[in-house]
Amino acid sequence: MGARCYRDAIETEEHIVSQTDRTRDRLIETYRKKAKHYDITSRLYPVPGYPQREQRLRAVQALGLRAGDSVIDIACGTGLNFPLIEEVIGPDGRIVGVDLTDAMLAQAQDRIETNGWSNISLVQADAANFDFPTEVDAILSTYALSQVPGCAEVIAHGAAALSGGGRWVVLDLKVPGNTPAWLAQLGTAIVRPFASIDEWIMRRPWEAIRAAMQEELTDLSWTELFFGTAFLAAGSRGPGTFGVRPRGSGHQ
């Protein structure tokens, strides 16, 4: 490669990296502002009256958890899923909550202390770079993975970390198929104050998530929720070389 080509390549790489950093910094700033009141305002997400709690319950059920299981909650935010998971895994289970935003994790920590849970640890990390612990029973991500530019890689890294038969479940928003243009524009106008929606619509991350889950997992189920405005995707890791590990054995 000539010196000029090499310099151009380096500059392009630096441009992409700094753009990614800027996007990440903006996202952290946004969630720092939202963190304190997130548990209340998220009830209006993406619009008032949206059946978010029902969807969240379905997502946790789709994990097929048992007492003693280990669960990773990717982009856990303030930990709204924790009580639902704790109810099933009990004190012998374990949750690792991962999130990019310090202020969201601070709220999650308050929730942990208020409930006296001693089996939850929090990690501040970009999901795209998170070093998954191995042999986990289940991985969950709710209303978040589509915000991660490298969402397909996160699915792949998580799938590799699951024990045989372990479950990966993603609940997230999407744009309904066959949406009339006027409805899509109206929806965009409603949601725009809450999110950087235009970039998200262009990127169509739910398609990348579906393709990655199809690739990495067996028995993928894909359910569209609330008129196609959300999806619940769930799949398992195949048995692997050493067979299916007994679930709920409380491994760390």
Ligand X SMILES: C[S@@+](CC[C@H](N)C(=O)[O-])C[C@H]1O[C@@H](n2cnc3c(N)ncnc32)[C@H](O)[C@@H]1O
Residues making contact with ligand X (CB under 6 A): 27, 31, 42, 75-77, 80, 99-101, 104, 126-128, 142-144, 147-148
Query: How far apart are CB 89 and ligand X at their closest, in Å?
Result: 17
Based on CB atoms, which residue is closest to ligand X, 42 or 109?
42
Tokens describing residue 114: 């208020």
Based on CB atoms, which residue is closest to ligand X, 58 or 251?
58
Distance of CA 98 to the CA centre of its chain: 9
Query: Whose structure tokens read 């099933």?
Result: 88
In sequence order, what are the residues at sequence separation of 6 or more whose Cβ sits closer than 8 angstroms to the Cβ of residue 62? 167, 169, 221, 232, 234
Based on CB atoms, which residue is closest to ligand X, 34 or 247?
34
Tokens describing residue 76: 């856990």
Query: How far apart are CB 54 and ligand X at their closest, in Å?
Result: 13
Query: How far apart are CB 218 and ligand X at their closest, in Å?
Result: 25
Query: How far apart are CB 102 and ligand X at their closest, in Å?
Result: 9
Residue 22, H or E segment: helix 3-34
In sequence order, what are the residues at sequence separation of 6 or more whose Cβ sits closer than 8 angstroms to the Cβ of residue 65? 71, 85, 88, 89, 93, 137, 138
- DSSP single-letter state for residue 117: -
Based on CB atoms, which residue is closest to ligand X, 203 or 251?
203
φ/ψ (deg, to 5) at 231: -140, 150
102-115 helix and 3-34 helix, angle to the nearest 10 degrees: 40
Report the residue closest to ligand X, judged by CB. 77
DSSP reduced 3-state for 63: coil
Query: How far apart are CB 178 and ligand X at their closest, in Å?
Result: 26
Based on CB atoms, which residue is closest to ligand X, 106 or 244?
106
Based on CB atoms, which residue is closest to ligand X, 86 or 165?
86
Query: How far apart are CB 191 and ligand X at their closest, in Å?
Result: 12
